Homo-oligomer: A and B are copies of this chain.
Amino acid sequence: MAKRPADPANGNEPAARQVVPMRDFSRSLPMSLLRAREAVMRQFRPSLREHGLTEQQWRILRALAAIEAAEVTELARTAFLLGPSLSRILRDLEARNLIERKTAKADLRRSMVSISKEGVKLMASVAPSSEAIYAEITQRFGARKLAELQEMLGELEQSLAELGAGEEASAEE
């Protein structure tokens, strides 16, 4: 193994040091978004946890609270969850009696999901602290800036929505 010259600073022998040219990793857009979201969610998680809810379960309850009932697919779109995740979570929420399910009469494939009374009660117990946290975030960051940020995020989403739609050219089979 006389393969490498001695390393002056320490006994290690790194295989590479900036061999592949790329942007600074920590400043990439995905990382920025990830970190920002984590910073926000970190504020909410403890409160949700106290009430025995995960972030996703909370999303589902919130989505359901605003409407009477929804098909699973529609709910997935609203709560921004993939079908399989939603399936599992609905199973658990139903077991906890937080939601109710009934298959549609007209189309036996569809099932209509709605929040139960217990679900509403749970939501009511979580909402105040959740709203308080959101208010605190808004105040810290600034309401105007927050609105601007959300505007930009929406535009970003728009820009990319067009992109991801019509092209599956390269390595699809």
Other-chain contact of A30, B40, B112, B115 (Cβ < 8 Å): B40
Report the Cα distance A123→B20, complex, angstroms. Answer: 7
**Chain B residues with Cβ under 8 A from A149's Cβ?**
29, 32, 149, 152-153, 156
Q: Which of B16, B105, B127 contacts A120 (CB 8 A)?
A: B16
Interface contact A68-B12, CB-CB below 8 Å: yes
User: Would A155 and B136 be within 8 Å (CB), given that A12-B69, A19-B65, A65-B20 are in contact?
Assistant: no
* Residues 1-48 of A at the B interface (beta carbon under 8 Å): 7, 11-12, 14-44, 46
Task: Tell me the bound Cα distance from A38 to B33 in angstroms.
Answer: 9
With A25-B66, A33-B40 already in contact, 12 other A-B pairs whose C-beta atoms are closer than 8 Å: A12-B102, A15-B114, A16-B120, A18-B66, A20-B124, A30-B40, A30-B41, A35-B80, A36-B153, A42-B164, A140-B159, A141-B155
Give me 22 A-to-B residue pairs in the complex whose CB atoms sit less than 8 angstroms apart, sorted by A's number.
A12-B69, A15-B120, A16-B117, A16-B119, A19-B120, A21-B127, A22-B66, A23-B131, A23-B134, A25-B59, A25-B62, A25-B78, A26-B78, A30-B40, A33-B33, A33-B36, A39-B160, A43-B163, A43-B164, A46-B171, A140-B160, A141-B156
